[in-house]
Amino acid sequence: MSSLNERVSRSDPEGRKMTIVEALREALQEEMRRDERVILLGEDIGVQGGFGGAFTVTLGLAEEFGRRRVIDTPITEAGIAGVATGAALGGLRPVADVQYGDFLFLAMDQLANHAAKLRYMSGGKLRVPMVMRAPVGATTRGAQHAQSLEAFFMHVPGLKVACPSNPYDAKGLLKTAIRLDDPVIFFEHKLLYGSKGSRKEAGGLEIFGTVPQEEYLIPFGQARVLRQGPDVTLVANLLMVHKSMQAAQNLAEAGIEAEVIDVRTLAPFDWPTLFESVSQTGKLVIVEEDNLTGGWGAEVAARTADTCIGYLQAPIRRVAAPDTPVPFAPIMENFYVPSVERIVATVTELM
């Protein structure tokens, strides 16, 4: 797989090797040190002796910044989103989180009708600089703790949507998100947190990435071409980036060279990078964990057909989950989630 997926030593001379959890934690720490308006809200994020949130991202931050800035909330996602929206309107820069992305449905009114629209409705007089972090993806927890929700929020004007696949992007995008004056939904795949530490994820990837000591930001709306190839374009996000890279390597052994694009953010979306790639390869396969109907891949397919129809040499294909709730049984979940083998088979058929 690509260097993003290599299991490397933390003493690598090229730089610090960090997990996504560590990169997210450092981003929060740096922004809280830089700007006293940055606060954290969430369930169990500052409990003394606790995990540091559901997946340890906020571990130790309450001890450094105090519980006036790392605020434990009741189990009320609507309340968390409402308080975050109000705090942002009042001049703070809250970073809120839910323990599972599925619980964002309990906060849809606050997010879709208030946070997303108030800047527009006020003619720019009001700003809602808030971030809502949300773990997504299937991890043998059943249908109500496993969904991929990116398409729901990509559909709401006024919201920005980020979906990092590696530690470098996770830190750079989160720091950018905190400094933006618009609300951001920040998705993190649970299997990319890893399978070690106090909250182990069965099947989690041990992904270490080089994260610079010096400060850096990653602009929203800039995708990254991870692998170049003239035969077909693979575009993916989150966990599917890593599966697409493995599929590209397998395809290369069969003589098919795929270009792999990590979208990084879905709103805004980097259409120029995608269209340039498709104009060169003439073929597009979109890989997402969400179920097929109405996923973000459908919008990508439609826009590409509108813009690149003269370059396409084959139908646009999507590799996605079936239109069913996420199953609980591990063997069924493995069938449900797109696999490297499905990606390879789809590309091979397309060729």
Reported as a single tens digit per residue, the pLDDT across 173-218 is 999 999 999 999 999 999 999 755 455 666 677 789 999 999 999 9
What is the set of domains in the chain, with CATH numbers?
18-211 (3.40.50.970), 224-350 (3.40.50.920)
How confident is the model over 110-142, as pLDDT tens digits? 999 999 999 999 999 999 999 999 999 999 999
State mean pLDDT over 318-326.
97
User: Looking at the predicted structure, is the pLDDT value of residue 153 above 50?
Assistant: yes
Residue 48: phi and psi, rounded to 5, are -65, 125
Residues 6 or more apart whose Cβ sits within 8 Å of residue 200: none
State mean pLDDT over 101-107.
97
Catalytic residue IDs: 145
State mean pLDDT over 323-342.
97
User: Looking up tokens 């969904």, which residue turns up?
Assistant: 147
The residue among 184, 34, 179, 37 whose CA lies nearest residue 97 is 184
| Alpha helical stretches, state H, the chain | 20-34, 61-65, 77-89, 108, 118-121, 150-154, 167-179, 239-253, 271-281, 296-308, 330-336, 340-350
Task: Tell me the two tokens of residue 222.
Answer: 């800039």
State mean pLDDT over 44-57.
89
CA–centroid distance for 145 within its chain: 16
Q: Identify the bridge partners of residue 341 per DSSP, sorted by sequence position.
A: none
- Calculate the alpha carbon distances from 26 to 31, 174, 180 in Å: 8, 10, 18
How confident is the model over 263-311, as pLDDT tens digits? 999 999 999 999 999 999 999 999 999 999 999 999 999 999 999 999 9
The conformation of residue 254, written as its DSSP 8-state character, comes to T
The residue among 255, 192, 261, 183 whose CA lies nearest residue 226 is 261
pTM of full prediction above 0.85: yes
pLDDT band, residue 8 (cuts 50/70/90): very low
User: Looking at the predicted structure, is the pLDDT value of residue 245 above 90?
Assistant: yes
- Calculate the alpha carbon distances from 161 to 20, 129, 183, 267, 277 in Å: 18, 13, 9, 5, 22
List b or e across 317-328, with b for residues whose CB sees 16 or more CB atoms inside 10 angstroms.
bbbbbeeeebbe
